[in-house]
Structure 1
Amino acid sequence: MITSFLKPILVVEDSVEDFTALGRVFRKQALPNPLLRCEDGDQALEYLQGYGKHPGWPPTLPAFVLLDLNLPGTDGRTVLGILKQDPRLQSIPVIIFSTSSSSHDVEECYRLGANSYLTKPIEYASLEEKMQVLVSYWLKASELPPMSQA
């Protein structure tokens, strides 16, 4: 909705290829939100916990976080747990976007507070379809909580 119109979309993804494909899909959808990439969990936490303080990062929190599970350093499960324990950050929707379709991973992520769990498709057309549904739901249909500015 309007509260998320120009908030960035945070993609926490270590794979350049996956991030490039996501960027291509979002551009094709004419997504107005800026796309922000963090390459690992530590960088994502640095941005989210210190938003507005780093000159190269947006001064607002993201509309939602697209979070890979298997990251170098601090992994996605740990990032998810930290975000959902932090009163300032816990209302940000976190969508897990992983190659794992393990029921253990899915259950663990929902237990930690994930708002959604999506398995990365192999085919580009399937990626386009999944991202279209994701954007439509989280940025058009869903009412997101207002988030403070820096």
Structure 2
Amino acid sequence: MTNVLKILLIEDDMIEVMKLKRAVSKLQINCKIIEANNGEEALSILEKKEDLPDIILLDLNMPKINGIEFLGILKKDSVLKYLPTIILTTSSNQKDLLECYKIGVAGYILKPLKYEEYVSKIETLIAYWSINELKKI
């Protein structure tokens, strides 16, 4: 029996949310996607510390709390800091990349323009995190 990978997707663009769901469906991947439209919403989901996700997919450019601010808050929490957080963004800005790795991101993935490339990246990402030993918090 394979465990279902629980993914918290923090993304304010509904087209990107639909794209991820479509890719997961196309790949026939058994995972649970929890959606948050921004960093504030994600923090309210995570603050309960019940049924936490296995990984977080985080966009950088969001209203209220941007991805880098969210990551900083997450990594200061004694429990939540262990959740692997992968940046999924269009930003190829080296300053963003460096800042995310300084704070403690688990990965930084650029969203490609071509859908088939996106599907391939999502397939690799989920395959990798599905075989990892993840800390159960």
Q: Could you say what secondary structure the match of 1:105 adopts?
A: helix
Residue 36 of structure 1: aligned partner = 34
Q: Which has the higher strand share?
A: 2
Aligned residue for 1:34, secondary structure, equals strand
Bigger relative CO (Cα 8 Å, ≥ 6 apart): 1
1:24 & 1:110 partners in 2: Cα distance?
29
User: 1-side partners of 2:126 and 2:118: how far apart?
Assistant: 12
1:25 to 6, 12, 23: 23
Q: Which residue of 2 aligns with 1:55?
A: none
CA RMSD of aligned residues (A): 1.5
Confirm whether residue 73 of structure 1 aligns to residue 71 of structure 2.
Answer: no
Query: Alignment identity in percent?
Result: 35
Q: Kindly indicate whether the alpha-carbon contact (under 8 Å) linking 2:5 and 2:130 is maintained by their aligned counterparts in 1.
A: no
Contact 2:58 2:88 (8 Å CA) reproduced? yes
Q: Please, which of 133, 144, 150 is the counterpart of residue 134 of structure 2?
A: 144
How is 1:97-108 mapped onto 2 (pairs within 5 angstroms)? 97-108=88-99
Aligned pair 1:61/2:52, yes or no? Answer: yes
The SS at the match of 2:31 is coil
Q: Is the 8 A contact 1:7 1:61 kept in 2?
A: no
Q: CA deviation at 1:30?
A: 2.0
The Cα of 1:119 is off from its aligned counterpart by 0.7
Aligned-partner Cα distance in 2 for 1:34–1:68 = 18
Q: Given residue 76 of structure 1, which amino acid in structure 2 is its aligned partner?
A: G
* TM-score, normalisation: structure 1: 0.86
5+ unaligned residues in a row in structure 2: which ranges? none
The letter of the residue matching 1:95 is I
Query: How far 1:67 sits from its partner (Å)?
Result: 0.1
Q: What residue in structure 2 maps to residue 90 of structure 1? A: 81
Runs in 1 of length 4+ with deviation above 3 angstroms? none
Offset, 1:7:
4.8
